[in-house]
């Protein structure tokens, strides 16, 4: 299939999907989310694809978040719809996918970018990767499941610190917290991710699917995801939101 924002390369039963908007640091606009959703569904229904790898184009960013320019003037109801649809099309779909998925984090994984990586079943990052959920500095909160998936991975206390400070952490710190599974040298990222994929692929696809379902059942609080969607939408149109996104676009620090 021909896409505008992603590239799919299938090799040895692995679909390597590259998000390809390097000038925007691979930020997730609506079209990219829709293309990823389509390609992931196609792969999942193809039994010869036994693992999906998601990565970003270039060496600077995996994904620098949801595309801020797309939602600057959104109302509360538009904000709510944006997050709800993104979750359904991509983030929840990935997290509950039967085919195992690995995020190969080649640089910044911020906001929706880290949420995308956390929706994958496993994560490998390069040494220079930077990870964080800086949404509160924009006057919003994580809206693609970050408030739920981050505490499930690193515990409530660490997640509170990361989300409330908006701090961006190193790959080594992310490894220490259990946010990622491995840190590798930049030139080894693809090779290391394929080695990990092959370690999964030698096992029963049926058991992998069942294990993913069982593991996810431990942290799938629908109440939490619903509350996130509500609180995310309530940020839109507020004075803080207007200041936060304006500051980003004007390349200055916000004043709250």
Spell out the alpha helix ranges (H) of the chain.
30-44, 68-71, 76-86, 92-95, 112-119, 146-154, 156-165, 171-177, 189-201, 205-217, 222-235, 239-249
**Pick from 78, 53, 62: nearest CA to 27:** 62
- Residues 58 and 189: their CA atoms lie apart, in Å, by 12
Active-site residue flag, 161: no
Q: For residues 108 and 225, which CB has a smaller minimum distance to ligand CAA in the complex?
A: 108
Q: Does 115 bind ligand CAA (CB under 6 A)?
A: yes
Q: Which of these ranges, 67-75, 87-95, 121-129, 197-205, lies near ligand CAA under the rule CB under 6 A?
A: 67-75
Of 5, 54, 57, 67, which one interacts with ligand CAA (CB under 6 A)? 67
Phi-psi region of 61 (alpha: psi -120 to 50; beta: other; left: phi over 0): beta
For the bound state, the minimum distance from the C-beta of residue 204 to ligand CAA, rounded and expressed in Å, comes to: 35
Of 17, 54, 97, 110, which one interacts with ligand CAA (CB under 6 A)? 110
Q: For residues 80 and 121, which CB has a smaller minimum distance to ligand CAA in the complex?
A: 80
Q: For residues 154 and 194, which CB has a smaller minimum distance to ligand CAA in the complex?
A: 154
- Residues 57 and 76: their CA atoms lie apart, in Å, by 32
For the bound state, the minimum distance from the C-beta of residue 251 to ligand CAA, rounded and expressed in Å, comes to: 7
The catalytic site residues sit at 115, 135
């Amino acid at each position: 299939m021909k896409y505008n924002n992603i590239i799919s390369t299938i090799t040895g039963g692995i679909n390597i999907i590259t998000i390809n908007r390097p000038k925007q640091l691979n930020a997730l606009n609506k079209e990219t989310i829709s293309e990823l959703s389509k390609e992931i569904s196609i792969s999942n229904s193809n039994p010869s694809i036994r693992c999906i790898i998601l990565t970003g184009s270039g060496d600077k960013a995996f994904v620098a978040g949801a595309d801020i320019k797309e939602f600057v003037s959104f109302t509360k109801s538009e904000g709510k719809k944006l997050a709800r649809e993104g979750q359904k099309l991509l983030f929840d779909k990935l997290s509950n996918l039967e085919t195992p998925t690995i995020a190969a984090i080649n640089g910044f994984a911020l906001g929706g970018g880290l949420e995308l990586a956390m929706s994958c079943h496993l994560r490998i990052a390069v040494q220079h990767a930077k990870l964080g959920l800086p949404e509160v500095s924009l006057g919003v909160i994580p809206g693609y499941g970050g408030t739920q998936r981050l505490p499930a991975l690193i515990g409530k206390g660490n997640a509170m610190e990361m989300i409330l400070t908006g701090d961006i952490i190193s790959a080594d710190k992310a490894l220490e917290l259990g946010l990622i599974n491995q840190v590798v040298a930049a030139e080894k990222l693809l090779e290391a991710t394929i080695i990990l994929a092959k370690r999964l692929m030698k096992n029963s696809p049926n058991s992998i699917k069942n294990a993913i379902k069982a593991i996810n059942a431990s942290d799938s609080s629908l109440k939490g995801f619903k509350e996130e969607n509500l609180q995310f939408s309530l940020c839109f149109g507020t004075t803080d939101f207007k200041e936060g996104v304006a500051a980003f676009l004007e390349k200055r620090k916000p004043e709250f």
